[in-house]
Amino acid sequence: MSEQTNIQALAVKYHNDVNSVSLQKFTSKELDILMTIMSRMRDHGEDEITFTFDYLKRLVRWQERKQDTKTFALSLDRTYQKLIQCNIRIGDDRHWVRFVLFTRYAVDLDKQLISIRVNSEFRFVLNELSSNFTRFELEEFTGLKSSYTKEFYRRMKQFRSTGYWKVSFEEFKRLLDIPGGYLIRHIDAKVFAPIMAELSEKYHLEIKKLYEKHGRGRPRVSGFEFTFDKSPLPELLETLPEEVQKTKQKPKKSQRDMKFYESRYRDRTIRIYDEKFQRYNYLKIVSIEHNSDGFVSVSVQNIDDDYKNTMHFDSVRIWDGYFKKYVI
């Protein structure tokens, strides 16, 4: 695997069932390590992937002293030990299975390498995901400070299309690994305060407490409703770079065989930053048409919600330059 990839180009994507797992006792930096590994193992099937320490340090924004390699290795080890302890559960109330996501997790302190392989039976958790998945930008995740914020952020991204998440009080405490003795005032101060500080302004996050009355006593908090900015796919052409928008004109009827262009570009993915929603759109190239007058029409499909649109370019040269700039 190439280690030239910048963190800005990486996204974490996994099956939604992973969000049902409480990552107990993970520190903020250990969560960064886990999500970074998951982002790099994605779509590699059962292949064993090896990373250098320096590469992972760069992606997780490791700020410790350069000579402190042993501390980093211990963090890698603790991350996997905690992941084993909270093995993932897949299924429903009647049928389920628990498993460990990685079957090989080998750390070589002398060579400063880590080698990882995904459990072959459950490779679908990170591979070939077309629906029922959570996706977010690794750079944004590692930029969050609080472990509570990171764990809330993952669930918020699961419900990105609705902008709404309702959860019971006890389930919320389980998912975010909140100490059993915490009362609502503790949750307000220790959990919600950092979450709101890091996410409220950008996502217009609001928290509503749900109450339930028991007998004659005061109503107790029974759950929470969270509302935040939805991430609907905007009109695609509004998010494209200016040079592409300028070519937004109706192409003439094609008279040219497109087999060459289909084979070269079709099924590849381009990545475009949406300034309005401050996120990336990942667009799969579905088909290409090249007209006799030179215009190129490219049909794309968003991999998150299957929304389709068509981009138009004045020439193959312009399209090819655009493709090389944004392909991943």
Annotated domain spans of the chain: 1-138, 144-231, 236-326
Lowest pLDDT segment from 12-21, 35-44, 58-67, 73-82? 58-67
Structure tokens at 186: 């503790």
Top-confidence residue, 243 or 29:
29
If you write DSSP's letter for every residue of 103-130 in order, what string do you get? EEEEEETTTTEEEEEE-GGGGGGTSS--
Q: How far apart are CA 119 and CA 81, in angstroms?
A: 16
- CATH number for region 1-138: 1.10.10.10
Which residues have CB under 8 Å from 141's CB, separation 6+?
A: 12, 31, 32, 35, 150, 153, 154
Instruction: Identify the residue with better confidence: 165 or 91.
Output: 165
DSSP code for 188: I
Strand order in the sheet with 220-227: 164-168, 220-227, 206-212
The answer to whether the 1-138 and 144-231 domains have the same CATH topology is yes
**Contact present, 151 and 208 (Cβ < 8 Å):** no
Q: CATH assignment of 144-231? A: 1.10.10.10
pLDDT at 227: 97
Determine the average pLDDT of the residues in 16-37.
Answer: 91
Give me the pLDDT at residue 251, please. 42
Using the predicted structure, report yes or no on whether residue 277 has a pLDDT greater than 70: no
Q: What is the pLDDT of residues 250-266, one digit of tens each?
A: 444 443 444 555 667 88
Q: Does residue 247 have a pLDDT over 70?
A: no
- How far apart are alpha carbons 328 and 309 in whole angstroms? 19
Please write down the HEC assignment for all residues of 4-30: CCCHHHCEEEEEHHHHHCCCCCCCHHH
8 Å CB contact between 75 and 33: yes
All residues at 6 or more sequence positions from 14 whose CB lies less than 8 Å from its CB, including other chains: 38, 42, 125, 126, 129, 133, 134
Q: Which token pair is 269?
A: 């993915």
Average pLDDT, the chain: 83
pLDDT tens for residues 75-128? 999 999 998 887 777 777 788 888 888 999 999 999 999 999 998 888 888 886
Residue 45 has a pLDDT of 78
Measure the CA–CA gap between 294 and 312, rounded to whole angstroms.
11
Neighbours of 183 (CB within 10 A): 8
Please answer whether residues 299 and 284 qualify as being in contact, where contact means their C-beta atoms are separated by less than 8 angstroms.
Answer: no
